[in-house]
């Protein structure tokens, strides 16, 4: 292990890993209100910087290299991370992250596209629109006690108020190099220092972020209340394991026990929530729960697993664990609480009225805003990267469809089987999906084409302009289909038609295909794909999509 503090103030620790190259940047981002400002800054940091000033940069980096790059916002910390089996590619990703973190570009249009605009639009707005109709979310915002967790993801009422001044102030306050920690796997400080030398970290505002306060008047359920017990996070696994039995017990009192949520507050406690009739007494539920806990005390030690491990790949989790070790002085994979029988005693519950579920704006399917024209260009840094590192050993793996598309996927596969079609288009109120059948001999061509499509600014426009949460093209090796989908889209049905039109435009954009093809072939790293040409890609698009274009 080696460590170093750069002249800009950034502290860097490098640790040895068995394989690959990885980087994690930890930024303390305290929640101060329910605006989700830390979540908003995360999105904008990823969007553009002085060095990478085009909105599609991140997507092209991911599409045309084997770089895995992402970020996640938690209650009081945000992690930015990247991984590649190749050092030059990982350094390209790290350079992208460092520039975004230390020298971002915040512009009004990006606020509209990435956060909120015109009631329906904005990536975070699309993400939150359906979350805020869930019962657990309503319970969380109903709690106004000192123990509650801020909605660090944001609530729509308050994210709609965020502006450039807000994100600039929050960024300046918390995204200072001296307050960040960089942890790398197999990347020495001497290699990172030149990247930092090229970034101007000066010129930040000294004004503090101003908290957002809700001015809405809320309606409350007439006959419902919530009892919330705050319990040490070490017992989360116990309550998850016993949830079904506890739920049945609580139902006997005409009340509802909510599934435990791994969202610890600042005291490292999770909330156990019960929705109860207004005439139900806390002491009644307390007695029932306490008797159950005594009767079902664990006979062995309780181990509290760190649930953040499920948010990261194994390569990045090594760095996260190292970061937590620095903070706590002990490894964070597993925390042994007791070697004896454990009896948990409940404290007093927080009691509050339950707000009514908000009315969610319907998806605007009738007449969505038209997408603005985009320039279909390839990121200059990617072209330079290939010229300098054309002999890298890439490792590509096909990924399954996200779980939210399981129902639509089954519907599309059934449509393909029943109608003997080569293409299926399906949608619901939130998402849309198109599947295109691929012959065995076309597999490498389909994968390479999917990389090029995923880098095409025209294809990405719906995501970049805030019409959906994600738009993706990927090959499904388990079913031999090329999949196109848009998630949490403002107009899923229309997106299918627009998507097909854009793919036909790509067919005619031979310059873009020519620029992307060497990178796409290098990413696949398969000798069977070396003979694929621009004409192969255009013919594939023409025959597989454009010729089969239907309603």
Q: How confident is the model at residue 302 (pLDDT cuts 50, 70, 90)?
A: very low
Mean residue pLDDT across the chain: 90
Which run of H or of E encompasses 108?
helix 108-114
Compute the radius of gyration of the chain from its Cα atoms: 25
Q: Supply the pLDDT for residue 342.
A: 45
Report the relative pairing of strands 180-185 and 11-15 from DSSP bridges. Answer: parallel
How confident is the model over 351-363, as pLDDT tens digits? Answer: 999 999 876 665 5
pLDDT for residue 164: 96
Is the four-CA dihedral 100, 102, 106, 112 of positive or negative sign?
positive
pLDDT, mean of residues 33-62: 96
Lowest mean pLDDT among 247-256, 387-396, 406-415, 472-481: 387-396
Q: Is the pLDDT of residue 520 over 80?
A: yes
Domains of the chain: 3-198 (3.30.830.10), 219-295+338-354 (3.30.70.2870), 398-545 (3.30.830.10)
Look at residue 333 and tell me whether its pLDDT is greater than 50: no
Handedness of CA 495, 129, 374, 445 (dihedral sign): negative
Q: What is the DSSP letter of 412?
A: H
CA of residue 34 relative to chain centroid, distance: 18
Phi, psi of 425 (to 5 degrees): -130, 120
Give the residue-averaged pLDDT of 472-476.
97
Residue 372 has pLDDT above 90, yes or no: yes
Instruction: Classify residue 477 by its DSSP letter.
Output: T
Q: Identify the CA nearest to 132 among candidates 154, 163, 160, 161.
A: 154
Please, are residues 67 and 89 in contact by the beta-carbon 8 Å criterion? yes
- Of the candidates 538, 502, 543, 547, the one whose C-alpha atom is nearest the C-alpha of residue 517 is 538
CA distance 96 to 199: 11
Give pLDDT, residue 340: 44
Poorest-pLDDT segment among 204-208, 245-249, 381-385, 520-524: 204-208
284-295 CB burial, b ≥16 within 10 A, e <16: ebbebbeeebee
């Amino acid at each position: 292990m080696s460590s170093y503090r750069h002249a800009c103030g950034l502290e860097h620790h490098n640790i040895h890993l068995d394989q690959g190259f990885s980087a994690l940047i930890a930024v303390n981002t305290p929640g101060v209100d329910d605006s989700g400002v830390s979540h908003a800054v995360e999105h904008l940091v990823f969007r553009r910087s002085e060095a990478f000033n085009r909105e599609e940069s991140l997507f092209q980096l991911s599409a045309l290299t084997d770089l895995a790059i992402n970020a996640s916002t938690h209650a009081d910390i945000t992690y930015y991370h990247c991984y590649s089996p190749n050092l030059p590619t990982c350094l390209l990703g790290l350079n992208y992250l460092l520039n975004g973190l230390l020298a971002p570009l915040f512009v009004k249009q990006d606020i509209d596209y990435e956060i909120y605009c015109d009631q329906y639009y904005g990536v975070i707005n699309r993400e939150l629109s359906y979350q805020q109709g869930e019962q657990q979310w309503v319970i969380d915002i109903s709690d106004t006690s000192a123990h509650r967790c801020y909605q660090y993801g944001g609530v729509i009422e308050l994210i709609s108020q965020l502006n450039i001044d807000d994100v600039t102030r929050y960024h300046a306050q918390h995204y200072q190099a001296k307050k960040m920690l960089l942890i790398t796997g197999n990347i020495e400080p001497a290699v990172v220092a030149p990247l930092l030398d090229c970034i101007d970290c000066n010129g930040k505002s000294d004004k503090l972020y101003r908290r957002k306060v809700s001015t809405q008047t809320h309606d409350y359920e007439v006959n419902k209340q919530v009892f919330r017990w705050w319990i040490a996070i070490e017992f989360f696994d116990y309550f998850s394991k016993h949830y079904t039995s506890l739920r049945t017990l609580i139902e006997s009192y005409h009340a509802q026990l909510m599934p435990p949520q791994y969202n610890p507050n600042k005291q490292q406690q999770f909330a156990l929530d019960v929705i109860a009739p207004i005439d139900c007494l806390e002491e009644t539920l307390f007695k029932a729960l306490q008797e159950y806990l005594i009767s079902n005390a664990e006979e062995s030690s309780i181990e509290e697993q760190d649930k953040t491990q499920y948010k990261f790949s194994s390569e990045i989790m090594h760095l996260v664990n190292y970061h937590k070790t620095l903070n706590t002085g002990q490894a964070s994979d597993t925390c042994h609480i007791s070697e004896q029988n454990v009896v948990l005693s409940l404290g007093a519950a927080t009691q509050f009225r339950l707000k009514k579920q908000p009315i969610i704006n319907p998806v605007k399917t009738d007449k969505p805003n038209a997408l603005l024209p985009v320039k279909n260009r390839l990121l200059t840094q990617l072209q330079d990267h290939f010229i300098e590192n054309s002999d890298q050993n890439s490792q590509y793996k096909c990924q399954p469809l996200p779980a939210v598309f399981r129902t639509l996927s089954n519907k599309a596969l059934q449509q393909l089987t029943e109608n003997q079609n080569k293409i299926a288009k399906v949608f619901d109120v939130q998402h849309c999906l198109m599947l295109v059948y691929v012959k065995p001999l076309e597999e490498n061509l389909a994968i390479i084409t999917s990389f090029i499509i995923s880098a095409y600014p025209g294809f990405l426009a719906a995501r970049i302009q805030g019409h959906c949460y994600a738009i993706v093209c990927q090959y499904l090796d388990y079913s031999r289909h090329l999949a196109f989908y848009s998630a949490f889209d403002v107009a899923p049905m229309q997106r299918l038609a627009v998507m097909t039109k854009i793919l036909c435009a790509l067919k005619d954009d031979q310059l873009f295909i020519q620029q992307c093809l060497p990178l796409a072939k290098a990413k696949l790293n398969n000798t069977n794909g070396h003979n694929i040409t621009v004409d192969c890609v255009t013919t594939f698009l023409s025959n597989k999509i454009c010729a089969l274009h239907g309603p």
